[in-house]
Amino acid sequence: MNRIEHIIAGQKTKGSSGKTQAVYNPATGEQTGEVVMGGEAEINLAVEAAKAAFSTWSITSPARRARMMIALHGVMNARRDEIAQTISAEHGKTHDDGLGEVTRALEVVEFAAGIPSHLQGDFSRDVGPGIDTCAERQPLGVVAGITPFNFPSMVPLWMIPMAIACGNTFVLKPSERDPSSANLILDLLREAGIPDGVVNVVHGGKPTVDAVLDHKDIQAVSFVGSTPIAEYVYTRGCAAGKRVQALGGAKNHMIIMPDADLDLAADALMGAGFGSAGERCMAISVAVPVGEETADRLVEKLTPRVAALKIGPSSDEMAEMGPVITAEARDRINKCIDAGEREGAKVLVDGRNLKLQGYENGFWVGGTLLDGVTKDMSVYQNEIFGPVLSVLRAKEYHEAVDLINAHEYGNGTAIFTRDGDAARDFTNRIQVGMVGVNVPIPVPVAYHSFGGWKRSIFGAHGIYGPEAVHFYTRLKTVTTRWPTGIRSGAQFTFPSMG
């Protein structure tokens, strides 16, 4: 049985807790391994290793760090199938979906390879008599990442390349549900020439998270997960004096206008709602057709598509959707559907109690389509994080916009329309951080930054892109004057360069 251990200063270690947790293949329900569970002792060791590496890594030239990012890109590209297979084995997503995750991670590595340009400072000559000023960005020190199960490779690689390219060293606490991807990332980093100790992995649960948040030598923490945990991480981390970015949950809506191409919209909803079994913080979980005629036509197109979803294990090349991550997740999603039905939603396609021949013990939920959902229903108010698409009908455009703006989450949204005026108004008025126009999952490319609004994020900075450079560095401004023989005596007023 596979045993997943911590990696600290380049060495695998089982740590001192003696605790382990089972790791499963979601498609079969079988245990495939166990992950050692760490805590304060292991975090202390990882931070010491990162501190030791920081003394050298932080003064490594940005150009050399950039070349290592280029090397990492090459290593990842050569091993992309292996990375995708590792993702699928413990998460359950299809192989093609795993490859898509690798591609988005590669884009961040590409951006990190431009770090010499991203770290360029500013210089002003003669701001005063013989006085020059420069501004530069310097690394923070040891930083940490706490990452979710749904993108076990991509989200760590949204953080690590930017953090270490900026000159920091890193401690990663990945999800204990699919931990092998994190250890594979360490292998890739080593193959790319990044020194041991620059990145360390400590597995574990809440005690490990708390040890990260409380450690005095960890300067910053990046987190992706649910909103309640994001708020906890932000509050506790800030109380400990850390810089924290904590990305939380979502309830992403797509408005479908009467003039939209409904076949295009229906296909977009299928991929955005059911890809990765809906276990995405950018999944579209609410379709908002404007007008009854639009809603009827959309539901007519969606129903057979959802019913025909090809569901299977990652080894099935025809599968469009795999299982959910755990039996607990499956049961929770089924209870959400139960609640929606009790509250009056119409279950047009029912994914509960799905069984696949040969995979009867897997964690399966079929694609589910609910119509007649209203904003007071729990199935609308809560993030389900599963393959459930709700149709909430709006009488007119402004009602749809107000609905989205009133929701506590503000991660992603989209509008499908042929009307440029409606699209422009939507992008201006909507109170959501990432917006798509005829694009169902508006995840920004790596040279922009990812981040929602409202209770979808805690902290001032988005993840990756230019925002990451600011998050993982701090500004230092240096003002200099060299003696010229000119003496003007002591100055007791506030200095002015005029």
Bridge partners (DSSP) of residue 473 are: 139
Sequential DSSP letters for 205-259: SHHHHHHHHH-TTEEEEEEES-HHHHHHHHHHHHHTT-EEEEE----EEEEE-TT
> Among all residues, which ones are annotated catalytic?
281
Which of 213, 182, 199 has its CA nearest to residue 49? 199
- 8 A C-beta contact, residue 265 and residue 229: no
Distance spanning both ends of the chain, measured CA to CA: 72
Cβ neighbours of residue 321 under 8 Å, at least 6 residues apart? Answer: 94, 274, 275, 276, 277, 309, 310, 311, 367, 387
- Report whether 68 contacts 192 (CB < 8 A): yes
Distance between CA atoms of 299 and 308, rounded to whole angstroms? 14
Q: Measured between alpha carbons, how far is 55 from 217 in angstroms, rounded to an integer? A: 14
**What's the rounded Cα separation, in Å, for the pair 151 and 93?**
10
Handedness of CA 169, 175, 180, 185 (dihedral sign): negative
| Residue 478: strand pairing partners | 134
- Please state, in angstroms and rounded to a whole number, the distance separating the CA atoms of residues 184 and 165: 19
β partners of residue 308: none
Give the CA-trace dihedral at 481, 487, 490, 495, to 10 degrees: -40
The partner residues of 246 in beta bridges, in order of sequence, read 223, 458
DSSP letter string, 316-352: -TT-SB---S-HHHHHHHHHHHHHHHHTT-EEEE--T
